[in-house]
A and B are shown apart, each in its own frame.
Chain A
């Protein structure tokens, strides 16, 4: 089958891409819906479509979903996707200051350039990067996730030790259910409902949304019309903001591409690493966490660069790095293609068409969010009495829709109450939820590493790559400790 680059601009392909972008923005922005869910719903619809249309729809959904998560993170402090958790750290303070439009516009511009950087590396050095990625075994992946999680614990607000406690509790919650390697039940205490484990999605929804919902209730003298954004500043992004943030965008793009190219590595690791590096390099690091525009730019660039980076092992080795790329692999297979080492040589035209789809979807994503930003920003000025109950309903719906299990709704409510108490006692919630998400691959790689090394704990130090990652992580940890209280 021959593909020309101009076929990407055919009406059917462009329509499929537009539909994917809109769906992606919706699923990314809505807490309770994930990019994977959106792609799983759309995948059967692509069976009857041409290969380019199908891929355009799915890639558009993927890229827009990564950007969409930032919208609810900025406006409501409720990240739509785990990759948007770092965006909330500075995006929400900006919205509270009355500058939601500025934050959303920076997010979409950073996403655009981050996506371009990821695409640049995908086009130019994909086979080379794949050779590096293939050297990442369980030992290296364990070290990378461990460093990422430690960084997340260190970067969260409050004292670091409380962040570490949250992360450990998250890892413990991730062990509930069936053991992934042996299949024996763990921490179910005889309960059938717990055999499937605790899903991280309702915990994430409840943990972010419920404290926000409960936060503004009934303070004496509070007016019914209190809004998230205190002042209507209507400040838009300008060249000075771009000048301030371009280095952060570059850092985010490079980190996102690098981490995204590693099989099994996660977007949350990339965004927090990018955030931390941008903060260290920034002119005013003390502003991070309080509404620094660079604090929105870096993680947003990283999470869209991850999309490009994640395509590298998929296209060159046929190895999907996460659920989303696994679904994309399924789409390729359905359309009759087999990504792998020979793919670049056998389907060169299709490869270039995919690169062009990435570029066009990125541009479409930029224009869509930028044009919608004034409308989206108005959500920050809706009365809380109207907005918060609606968000509560969406959270309940989202939790139930995930597995059609009412237990998930109870978990969501319970997690929300726990997160509310955690906030009162100074324990950050982000490390807990990311501990739940990163726990399974962390444990899997830990056990595989020790099995392969026949129980030798020094295996994490004998691998050069792993040792480099751990030393780098230690450096980041020490410098973070010097800055923060322990």
Chain B
């Protein structure tokens, strides 16, 4: 394995190990906030198991850090695995997913779903539909479902 690649893996694994230590620190802070020892008459209170876990995490994080610097990374090590995605489009998909989840409550499922489907499909290389077609689908789907439920079953959707 080339030296720059090895260095990159070392740095990445060190960053990951450091993040784990930070997570352990936050978790340990959370353990100190736990109340409830006064409700039990023995040592095995609500913080016993968490203390065990944070100890394990610190040991594992330290081992990862030591491994990053003192062990020779083998070819094909799992860090920075290439997954071949286009970062810009992946970020766009993530933002669309978050926007879809966030708009469910205020806007509703029926409006947002066709919009989401129409906007995400082109990210996979499908031909993008004109925005007016997507809007038309959303409106059409909503009107159709509301009509079927109201005229067919007398149910009015919120």
Contacts and interface: CB of A to CB of B under 8 A. Distances in A.
Interface in A137-195: 157-159, 161-162, 164-165, 168-169, 171-172, 175, 179, 181-187, 189
Interface stretch (A47-55, A236-244, A448-456): A448-456
B133 to A, nearest CB: 15
A425 B79 contact: yes
Given A158-B78, A184-B35, A413-B101, A224 B83 contact: no
Nearest to B61: A165
B85 interface: yes
B98 interface: yes
A159 B71 CA distance: 13
A232 interface: no
A196 interface: no
Contacts of B77: 159, 426
B44 A389 contact: no
Given A172-B50, A218-B86, A220-B86, A425 B63 contact: no
Contact of A186 (B20, B50, B100): B50
B93 A217 contact: yes
Interface stretch (A12-20, A294-302, A341-349, A380-388): A380-388
A390 interface: yes
Interface in B20-63: 20, 23, 27, 30, 33-36, 39-40, 42-50, 53-54, 56-57, 60-61, 63
B117 A390 contact: yes
Given A214-B90, A218-B89, A446-B49, A455 B83 contact: no
B57 A219 contact: no
Given A189-B30, A216-B124, A218-B86, A409 B104 contact: yes
B124 to A, nearest CB: 4
The secondary structure that dominates the B interface is helix
Interface of B: 12, 16, 20, 23, 27, 30, 33-36, 39-40, 42-50, 53-54, 56-57, 60-61, 63-64, 67, 74, 77-81, 83-86, 88-90, 93-94, 97-98, 100-102, 104-105, 109, 113, 116-117, 120-127
Given A189-B33, A214-B94, A423-B81, 20 more contacts: A159-B78, A175-B50, A182-B39, A186-B46, A186-B50, A217-B86, A218-B125, A222-B124, A385-B122, A386-B126, A392-B116, A393-B113, A393-B117, A410-B102, A417-B94, A425-B16, A425-B78, A425-B81, A443-B49, A447-B44
28 contacts: A157-B78, A159-B77, A161-B64, A162-B78, A165-B60, A168-B57, A172-B54, A182-B45, A182-B46, A184-B39, A184-B46, A187-B34, A189-B33, A218-B86, A222-B124, A383-B126, A385-B124, A386-B121, A392-B100, A400-B104, A406-B104, A409-B101, A413-B97, A423-B83, A424-B83, A426-B79, A426-B81, A454-B42
